[in-house]
Structure 1
Amino acid sequence: MLRDNQQFNESIKPNSAFLDELRQKMPEFFTATKYDEEGNVVESSTFDNEKFQQALKEQNIDELSSGYRLDFIGKNYAKKQAGERPTTMIVPDNDHNQKEENKNSKNLFFTGDNLEVLRHLQQNYANSVDFIYIDPPYNTGSDGFVYPDNFEYSDDQLKDMFALNDEELKRLKSIQGKATHSAWLTFMYPRLYLAKKVLKDTGVIFVSIDDNEQANLKLLMDEVFGEGSFVADIVWEKVHTRKNSAINFSSSHEYIICYARYKRNSSNEKHGFKRNLLPREDTDAYSNPDNDPKGPWKPDPITAHNYYDANYTIEKPNGVIINRPSDRFWVYSEKTLKEKIKNNEIIWGKNDSIPLVKRYLKDVQDGLVPITLFNRNFAGDSSQAKRNIDELFPESRGIFDYSKPVQLIVRLLQIGSDKNSIIFDFFAGTSTTAQAVMKLNSDDGGNRQYIMCTLPEPTFTVNSDGKEVPTKGGETAYKAGYKSIDEISRERIIRAANKIKEENPLLTESQDFGFKHYRVVPPTQETLEKIDYDDQLQLDLFDDMIDAFSSEKLGVAGNADGFDTILYTYLAKDNYTFDVPLQMIDFAGIQLPYVNNQRIYLIANNWQAENTRALVNAIGKNELLVQTIVVYGYTLEMESVRELEIALNQLENKVNLQVRY
């Protein structure tokens, strides 16, 4: 687990994640791993660059231009982070999750560092997410962003990892705690890289940003997702008032950059992301006052400013001759117009007015192609975003000032999701996205699921005499009793769900209004020191290595014991979603989780020979179908592990035994 991951992370190089992806997609360009007679690795698999270059030459790649790339201080470090495994634990909030409205919910809320959450979800949500929306820090200098990584590796380790000299090391470490462009790019790169890996081939990501980092974000996403995956750069009208105090221009917009995992480039392509049409909302313009058998219609002009090669006169039923206007053109040929007259599709009007043509609702496509300009009437603005929150927190108006309007996220969901999509927002803030998902589900009967993630950013600081002082902008939240932003975020989801249920009582039984809550938490320093132990030390040092991961010992709420934390961390690692079928099976007095009718997790203190016999007998008698047994190594003596291994080897059915640290 943590020790295994720490050792793995030490071996990660800046290109490790990329090589792993190449190995999965193009294994033919890697040499085979060589072993000695005892099974030890003699020569690791490596990328055969000469073979790869030869393959490129056969495709005439040499004739193409060399292109360009994005470079910044910290890029190699960011690429290393993208390949590392999590060093935190997933702690379930049992107090919340066991409530009736939450216990069967498929919605998820993670409190913690989103980079660690993304690392945890690489297995159980790989290629599973349909839609991502994020609103990351804009790095404006006033939004509180500073590069958060503390460079846990020593200077010598960093030099060795990235082949740095003293000056280069100094430049790398200069981004720590800063809000430079390089710091922001180093922060965003691994998060976007890992986000791409959880997206389906048909998935899409929308990222909000302003002018400060828009150009850098576009280049970064070109690199991570590929230039060919760019879909659109949407301009959103965030305010409609002019700020006359502005020195140059009064800024009234932000951007939402959209990329697909794979983009379709024609309507004939069957693979990749396909945007939806927006629902047509002007059907009231269509009516049928003359009981036309072809159904509702609305009047449309038969002239346009565009040039059409049609020049004729029209005789109205009242005998008036209508010539083509000098500044406009007929949009139909004379033959087509006569057909429309014959089919009663022309509205003649009075006197010498120019006739109109009927446009039938049945002939209009199911929706509207989205455009890249979102005005406030279409997608809401910052004022509406504030109203969205104030309506839910009337007792604490102004509790949060920097969210997006629900209507904006609903519009993006209409374009990029279907009724059964999984929606992910790992910069969730106050969970506008979760509210938008619930609202759209209530509007169209969908079953979209959401995954939210946000930091437990405090609304207060502690001064020198130990007194809590509200942060700038956090006064209202702190006075209302919210010590961190994630508390507001979860409460918003609960209140928004109740509001939707009150407005739509028939939805109560059919829609998922709950969510499961998990905290992603690093172990205590004492536990970390025990994890980094010498193999020769006695295992009795680790008698408390289960309880060390309880919510109480980790300093968080939720009433989870260490067993819960270890189990859920393992489930994520082993590609299981958090609603996987699980039952507790008794083996001579010790209960173990049996997961998905295939895997047992041996997480227990005081495991003895009689427990091993009960476990092996149950498998041998085919009472349980078991493919893998995962052993939490800190609490099992080597003798007990060996005893279990020997007993399993005597079974007819092969059972894979994994011991983790």
Structure 2
Amino acid sequence: MQKLTDQDPETQSADLVAGNIEQLKTLFPEAFTEGKVDFDVLKQLLGGTVDDREEKYGLNWHGKRRARQIALTPSTGTLRPCPEESVDWETTQNLMIEGDNLEVLKLLQKSYAGKVKLIYIDPPYNTGKDFVYPDNFQDNIKNYLELTGQVESGKKISSNTEASGRFHTDWLNMMYPRLKLARNLLRDDGVVFISIDDNELINLRQLTNDVFGEENFVGIFPWKRRTGANDSKSFYVSADHEYLLVFAKSSQFEFLGVEKNLSNYTNPDNDPRGAWARDNLTCNKTAEERPNLFYPITDPESEIVFQCNPNRVWAYESERMKRIITEGKVIFPTNPNGTPMYKRHLAELRSNKKPLSTWILTAAESTDEQDDALNMRFPLNSNATKQLRALMGSQCFNFPKSNVMIQEIISQTSEAGELVCDFFAGSGTTGHAVMAQNAIDNANRRYILVQLPEPLDPENKDQKTASDFCDQLGRPRTIAELTKERLRRAGRKIKDENPIFNGDTGFRVFKLDSSNIHAWEPNRDDLADTLLQYAEHLKTDRTEQDILFELLLKLGLDLTVPIEQKTISGKTVHSIGSGTLLTCLAPQISNDEAESLALGIVEWHKQLSPSGEAQIVFRDSSFADDVGKTNLTAILQQNGLENVRSI
């Protein structure tokens, strides 16, 4: 029976460096010598694509190398389940994770890499105020627990003020590793939307060029978030707008788009090429700009000559025009003063969808039906504030994003069964929007939200209302508590307003914490005492459920995968994923119980009939000695269950 320890790669969060090296080996095996990369050979293989210049185009700042290294450093934490704070724990496919999103993103790598269709984030804007994302290169879990008040700490919350001299640098160092990890979660046809204002738009564009590749830039969508206000810092300019910066994972991404109206495509002349419609034969260029497109054409039947408009010339050069006239693709009018039209067949359309405009309209703006089909329309932020106040019964959040905004993004980028992620969850708008959009189109999209349990200060006038609200709920004074309460209320409201909707409005709550497995930290002054303390491999204050879900993370299984349990020989045995993983984490298994337990597991495994090889995991300290462990392992392996481990 193999023992899983905290040093085992399989029990750690994803090793991104090792993964990168393996990919490089697959592509360029000849660039490796004795297991190391030979950069001279790699440069030769890459040819002219290697840039060796000292001065290169791109964004650099103090700490970028360290920020990249932080993204590659495995997490020492885990996610502990909290069924008592969840809604529909047994059935829901949604996740609300309380913790530092950097560590959470690391922990999600094995289970969710390449599975997320849409990421929307509204990160802290760089306004010169404090933001609590201080990343510690050595032990971010310890740092996180101290700064969120979960363990005693004398540390001050880090700040990012203009006076610090690192105003942009600190913000970039916070964002860079999170975006690097987020990219790994996206499917190849996935996309990320990032809300941002003027302070960091330019730097964020450069940063996302670096992380996602400039070729995957989709667009910048400006939108008016409020009516003009006299809040200008200088130049008497009111900042009443924000942006959505959009990048794709690859060229496989496409907006779902707006369906074109194809009712004007008919076939009155029984054209064998099928239905067609009249289209413009000119383009918006002048004769001075494009003299090669300025020439007369002749109707071959009536021999009427049609002159070109010098302010709007033909769309095609003369040779191609002659060809399409011969093919019967030009419709000539009987009136010499009329305008020839192009006969566009339905089969010629590259898509039956219209492209979206990057200009976002406010809900109050009146446009014609054609424009409405091309523009996304979002209400002002004040509408979102009013709606959230009505839902919560209190002004808990300032400037929340609009449900309508996120729903529009969701409807244009994701379909039924796909996964949406927001790791700066804030007020929980993304989760609310996923549930609301599912109710509209009867889909079953899922969400993963991550929110830091940032403490609320009742002495701070900007946080007092939110802090008092948490007191009324009898819950800790943190932003994450508000996020969860908003999701609970939103789910109930959606059910009430859509009685025939039977979709998922629940969520599983998990909280970031240190691993359930003891990390080896010897006291060199008293090694005997250290050995005694570490005789139990697992922490004694953790439950079976804590350990079970850490196993799911470490082995790369979905945190909402179906889990069954059965009592065998008086011990609880869990089946995860229809028998893909079978675990018994009972604290004690006697030698007499080991044989009957093994036979019971074999029988249950036969009934489950999993499609792939099953893994069997036990608590190592459960066995009184090696006899019971050896006998149990032998019985399992004799019955085809070879992959037996202990933790």
- Are 2:594 and 2:628, in contact at CA under 8 Å, matched by a contact in 1? no
Please list the CA deviations of residues 433-479 of structure 1 after superposition, one character each: whole Å capped at 9, or x if unmatched: 1122222222333221111111122222xxxxxxxx34342222223
* CA separation of 1:583 and 1:539: change in aligned 2, threshold 3 A: farther
Match of 2:541 among 517, 542, 548: 548
Per the alignment, residue 83 of structure 2 pairs with 94
Equivalent residues in 2 for 1:38-49, closer than 5 Å: 47-49=35-37
446, 451, 461: which is aligned to 1:449? 446
**Any residues of structure 2 matched to 1:163-182 within 5 Å, and which?**
178=160, 180=166, 181-182=168-169
- Gap change, CA 1:411 and 1:584, over 3 Å in 2: closer
Match of 1:80 among 62, 66, 69: 69
Q: Is the 8 A contact 1:202 1:261 kept in 2?
A: yes
Quick one: which of 479, 485, 495 aligns to 1:485? 479
Quick check: 1:138–1:212 contact (8 Å CA) kept in 2? yes
1:517 aligns with 2:502: no
Counterparts of 1:60 and 1:492 in 2: how far apart (Å)?
54
Counting aligned pairs with the same residue, the percent is: 27
Question: What SS is found at the alignment partner of 1:512?
Answer: coil
Q: What CA distance in whole angstroms lies between the structure 1 residues aligned with 2:282 and 2:633?
A: 88
Counterpart contact for 1:546–1:563, Cα < 8 Å? no
Larger CA deviation: 223-232 vs 130-139: 223-232
1:606 matched to which residue of 2? 588
Residue 555 of structure 2 is aligned to residue 563 of structure 1: no
Provide closer, same or farther for how the CA distance between residues 445 and 117 of structure 1 changes in structure 2, counting only shifts above 3 A: same
Distance 1:78 1:325, change over 3 A: closer
Distance 1:96 1:25, change over 3 A: same
Say which SS state the counterpart of residue 500 (structure 1) adopts. Answer: helix
Contact 1:406–1:432 at 8 Å: present in 2 too?
Answer: yes
1:373 maps to 2:382: no
Tell me the equivalent position of 1:260.
248
Task: Output one character per residue of 1:537-577: Cα deviation in whole Å (capped at 9) or x when no partner.
Answer: 6668766956512xxxxxxxxxxxx1111111211221221
Matched, 1:217 2:209: no
Structure 2: distance between partners of 1:447 and 1:646: 41
> Against the structure 1 CA distance between its residues 128 and 245, is the aligned structure 2 distance closer, same or farther, given a 3 Å change threshold?
closer
What residue number does 1:167 align with?
A: none
Deviation at 1:368, TM superposition (A): 3.1
The 5 Å alignment of 1:125-274 reads 125-142=112-129, 144-150=130-136, 152=138, 178=160, 180=166, 181-243=168-230, 245-248=232-235, 249-262=237-250, 264=251, 272-274=252-254
Distance in 2 (CA, whole Å) between partners of 1:473 and 1:279 is: 45
Q: What residue number does 1:412 align with?
A: 409
**Contact 1:30/1:47, CA 8 A, preserved across alignment:** no
Match of 1:580 among 561, 568, 586: 561
CA distance in 1: counterparts of 2:398 and 2:439, whole angstroms:
26
Distance 1:371 1:641 in 2: 68
Post-superposition CA distance 1:155-189 (Å, at most 9, x none): xxxxxxxxxxxxxxxxxx99965453332222222
1 CA distance for matches of 2:530 and 2:240? 64
2-side partners of 1:7 and 1:178: how far apart? 38
Alignment of 1:36-75 (within 5 A): 47-50=35-38, 53-54=40-41, 56-61=43-48, 66=53, 67-75=56-64
2:599 to 617, 622, 625: 617
Contact 2:594 2:632 in 1 (8 A): no
Go from structure 1 to structure 2 and tell me whether the alpha carbon gap of 1:49 and 1:547 turns closer, same or farther (over 3 Å shift): closer
State how far apart, in whole Å, the 1-side matches of 2:568 and 2:197 are: 58
Is residue 588–residue 621 contact of structure 2 (8 Å, CA) maintained in 1? no
TM superposition shift of 1:125: 1.0
Is the 1:539–1:635 contact (alpha carbons within 8 Å) kept by the matching residues of 2? no
CA–CA distance in structure 1, aligned partners of residues 49 and 253 of structure 2: 31
CA distance in 1, matches of 2:585, 2:109: 23
- CA gap 1:123/1:46 in 2 versus in 1, 3 angstroms: farther
CA distance in 2, matches of 1:487, 1:2: 38
Deviation at 1:649, TM superposition (A): 8.0
Contact 2:70 2:177 in 1 (8 A): yes
Aligned residue for 2:541, secondary structure, equals helix
Q: State TM-score, norm by structure 2.
A: 0.73
Change (3 A) 1:618 1:301: closer
Asked if the contact 1:388/1:406 (under 8 Å) is kept, the reply is: no
Opposite residue 504 of structure 1, the aligned amino acid is: N
**Aligned equivalents of 1:227, 1:17: Cα separation in 2:** 22
Runs of 5+ consecutive residues of structure 1 not aligned to the other structure? 34-44, 155-172, 265-271, 288-297, 313-322, 347-351, 461-468, 550-561
Greater CA drift, 252-261 or 74-83? 74-83
State the Cα RMSD in Å.
Answer: 4.9
Q: 2:573 aligns with which of 573, 592, 611?
A: 592
Deviations along 1:52-103, one digit per CA (max 9) or x if unpaired, are 6435425532786744454433334323322233333322222244x5x453
Gaps of 5+ in 2: 141-154, 265-276, 287-292, 298-306, 364-376
Aligned to 1:471: 460
CA contact 1:278–1:414 (8 Å) conserved in 2: no
How many angstroms apart in 2 are the aligned matches of 1:473 and 1:204? 34
Give the match's secondary structure for 2:230: coil
Match of 1:383 in 2: 382
Bigger shift: residues 648-657 or 206-215:
648-657
Aligned mates of 2:78, 2:280 — CA distance in 1: 65
Could you tell me whether the CA contact under 8 Å between 2:125 and 2:197 is conserved in 1? Answer: yes
The letter of the residue matching 1:231 is V
Specify whether residues 380 and 6 from structure 1 end up closer, same or farther in structure 2 by C-alpha distance, changes over 3 A only. farther
Q: Is residue 109–residue 515 contact of structure 1 (8 Å, CA) maintained in 2?
A: yes
Distance 2:49 2:283 in 1: 50
Letter in 1 for 2:430: T
